[in-house]
Amino acid sequence: MTGFRVAMEPADWLAAADLIDWSVSPQVALDTGKAPLCRWFPDGRLNTCHNALDRHVEAGHGDRPALIFDSAMTGDRRQYTYAELRDEVARVAGMLRSLGVGKGDRVLIYMPLVPEAVMAMLACARLGAVHSVVFGGFAAPELAKRIVDASPALIVTATCGLEPSRVVEYLPIVAQAQALAQSDVPKLVLRRPQHEVALDPANEHDWHTLLDRAEPAAPVDVAATDPLYILYTSGTTGTPKGVVRDNGGHAVALAKSMALVYGARPGDVFWAASDIGWVVGHSYIVYAPLLTGCTTVLYEGKPVGTPDAGAFWRVVRDYGVDILFTAPTAIRAIRREDPDGTHIAAAPLASLRALFLAGERADPDTLEWIEQQLGVPVIDHWWQTELGWPAIAICLGLGERETRSGSAGKPVPGFDIAVLGRNGERLPAGESGDVAIAAPLPPGCLSTLWANDEGFVSTYLAARPGYYTTGDNGFFDGDGFLHIMGRSDDIINVAGHRLSTGAMEQVLAAHPDISECAVVAGTDPLKGHRPVGFFVLRSGAQRDEATVAREVVERVRAEIGPVAAFREAVAVPGLPKTRSGKVLRATLRQIVDGQPYTPSATIEDPAMLSHAQAALARAGITQPALQQEDPA
Ligand code: COA
Ligand code: AMP
Among 131, 49, 114, 121, smallest CA distance to 82 is for 49
Find the helix or strand (DSSP H, E) in which 501 lies. Answer: helix 501-509
Shortest-distance Cα residue to atom 4 of ligand 2? 384
Kindly state the average pLDDT of the residues 334-346: 97
Rg (CA), the chain: 24
Shortest-distance Cα residue to atom 7 of ligand 1? 136
pLDDT class for 622, splitting at 50, 70, 90? Answer: low
Q: What share of the chain has pLDDT > 70, as a percent?
A: 97
- For residue range 1-44, what is the model confidence (pLDDT) as tens digits? 334 455 788 999 999 999 999 999 999 999 999 999 999 999 99
- For residue range 61-113, what is the model confidence (pLDDT) as tens digits? 999 999 999 999 999 999 999 999 999 999 999 999 999 999 999 999 999 99
Do 153 and 105 form a contact (C-beta atoms < 8 A)?
yes
Look at residue 250 and tell me whether its pLDDT is greater than 90. yes
pLDDT, position 599: 82
- For residue range 280-319, what is the model confidence (pLDDT) as tens digits? 999 999 999 999 999 999 999 999 999 999 999 999 999 9
177 CA distance to ligand 2 middle (Å): 28
Residue 509: CATH number of its domain:
3.30.300.30
Residue to substitute in 280, 300, 302 for testing ligand 1 pocket (most ligand atoms within 8 angstroms of CB): 302
Kindly give, in sequence order, each residue whose CB lies less than 8 Å from that of residue 277, ignoring residues fewer than 6 positions away.
133, 134, 135, 136, 137, 138
Shortest-distance Cα residue to atom 10 of ligand 1? 137
Shortest-distance Cα residue to atom 9 of ligand 2? 384
**468/483 Cα distance (integer angstroms):** 18
Among 329, 318, 313, 275, smallest CA distance to 295 is for 318
136 CA distance to ligand 1 middle (Å): 10
Q: Counting ligands in written order, which one lies closest to the CA of residue 471? A: 2
Q: Decide: residue 77, CB within 10 A, 0-12 exposed, 13-18 middle, 19+ buried.
A: exposed
Does ligand 2 come within 6 angstroms of the Cβ of 528?
A: no
Among 412, 370, 408, 417, smallest CA distance to 485 is for 408
Look at residue 49 and tell me whether its pLDDT is greater than 50. yes
**121/431 Cα distance (integer angstroms):** 43
Find the helix or strand (DSSP H, E) in which 518 lies. Answer: strand 514-524
Kindly give, in sequence order, each residue whose CB lies less than 8 Å from that of residue 509, ignoring residues fewer than 6 positions away.
516, 517
**Residue ranges around ligand 1 (CB below 6 Å):** 136-137, 161, 163, 165, 168, 273-275, 278, 280, 302-304, 326-327, 329-330, 333, 359, 495-497, 526, 562-563, 565
Asked if the structure places residue 513 within a domain, the reply is: yes
Do 383 and 482 form a contact (C-beta atoms < 8 A)?
no
343 CA distance to ligand 1 middle (Å): 22
Atom of ligand 1 lying closest to residue 494 CA = 25
Atom of ligand 1 lying closest to residue 273 CA = 44
**286/438 Cα distance (integer angstroms):** 28
Shortest-distance Cα residue to atom 1 of ligand 2? 384
- Per the structure, the count of domains in the chain is 1
pLDDT class for 623, splitting at 50, 70, 90? Answer: low
Higher pLDDT, 8 or 47: 47
Kindly state the average pLDDT of the residues 396-400: 94
Atom of ligand 2 lying closest to residue 486 CA = 12
pLDDT, position 631: 34
**146/91 Cα distance (integer angstroms):** 27
Shortest-distance Cα residue to atom 26 of ligand 1? 563
pLDDT class for 235, splitting at 50, 70, 90? Answer: confident
Look at residue 632 and tell me whether its pLDDT is greater than 50. no
**Bond preceding residue 36 cis, omega within 30 of 0:** yes
- For residue range 402-448, what is the model confidence (pLDDT) as tens digits? 999 899 999 999 999 999 999 999 999 999 999 999 999 999 999 99
pLDDT class for 236, splitting at 50, 70, 90? Answer: confident
Asked if the structure places residue 456 within a domain, the reply is: no
Look at residue 348 and tell me whether its pLDDT is greater than 90. no
Atom of ligand 2 lying closest to residue 357 CA = 19
3-state secondary structure of 31: strand
Look at residue 626 and tell me whether its pLDDT is greater than 60. no
Cα maximum dimension of the chain: 74
Kindly state the average pLDDT of the residues 516-544: 95
Look at residue 482 and tell me whether its pLDDT is greater than 50. yes
Does ligand 2 come within 6 angstroms of the Cβ of 385?
A: yes
Do 191 and 208 form a contact (C-beta atoms < 8 A)?
yes
Kindly state the average pLDDT of the residues 177-206: 96
Asked if the structure places residue 551 within a domain, the reply is: yes
Shortest-distance Cα residue to atom 31 of ligand 1? 302
| Amino acid at site 354 | A
Find the helix or strand (DSSP H, E) in which 587 lies. Answer: helix 585-592
pLDDT class for 238, splitting at 50, 70, 90? Answer: confident
Kindly state the average pLDDT of the residues 463-487: 96
274 CA distance to ligand 1 middle (Å): 10
Look at residue 629 and tell me whether its pLDDT is greater than 80. no
Residue to substitute in 329, 332, 366, 498 for testing ligand 1 pocket (most ligand atoms within 8 angstroms of CB): 329
Q: Show the domain range for 609.
A: 489-619
pLDDT class for 621, splitting at 50, 70, 90? Answer: confident
Q: Counting ligands in written order, which one lies closest to the CA of residue 325? A: 1
pLDDT class for 340, splitting at 50, 70, 90? Answer: very high
445 CA distance to ligand 2 middle (Å): 15
Kindly state the average pLDDT of the residues 383-398: 97
Task: Report the length, in residues, of the chain.
Answer: 632
Eight-class DSSP state of 63: T
Look at residue 555 and tell me whether its pLDDT is greater than 80. yes
Atom of ligand 2 lying closest to residue 279 CA = 4
Does ligand 2 come within 6 angstroms of the Cβ of 233?
A: yes
CA 531, 532, 537, 543 dihedral sign is positive
Q: How many CB atoms lie within 10 A of CB 340?
A: 9
**479/393 Cα distance (integer angstroms):** 14
pLDDT, position 347: 81
Beta bridge partners of 583: 577
Q: Counting ligands in written order, which one lies closest to the CA of residue 72? A: 1
pLDDT, position 431: 97
* Distance from chain centroid for Cα 599: 36
Look at residue 630 and tell me whether its pLDDT is greater than 90. no
Residue to substitute in 236, 493, 628 for testing ligand 2 pocket (most ligand atoms within 8 angstroms of CB): 493
pLDDT, position 519: 97
**426/63 Cα distance (integer angstroms):** 51
**521/615 Cα distance (integer angstroms):** 16
User: Dihedral angle at the C-alpha atoms of 90, 92, 95, 99, nearest 10 degrees?
Assistant: -120
The predicted model scores a pTM of 0.95
Does ligand 2 come within 6 angstroms of the Cβ of 472?
A: yes
Kindly state the average pLDDT of the residues 228-243: 90
Kindly state the average pLDDT of the residues 324-346: 97
Residue to substitute in 169, 563, 566, 567 for testing ligand 1 pocket (most ligand atoms within 8 angstroms of CB): 563
**173/195 Cα distance (integer angstroms):** 14
- For residue range 198-224, what is the model confidence (pLDDT) as tens digits? 999 999 999 999 999 999 999 999 999
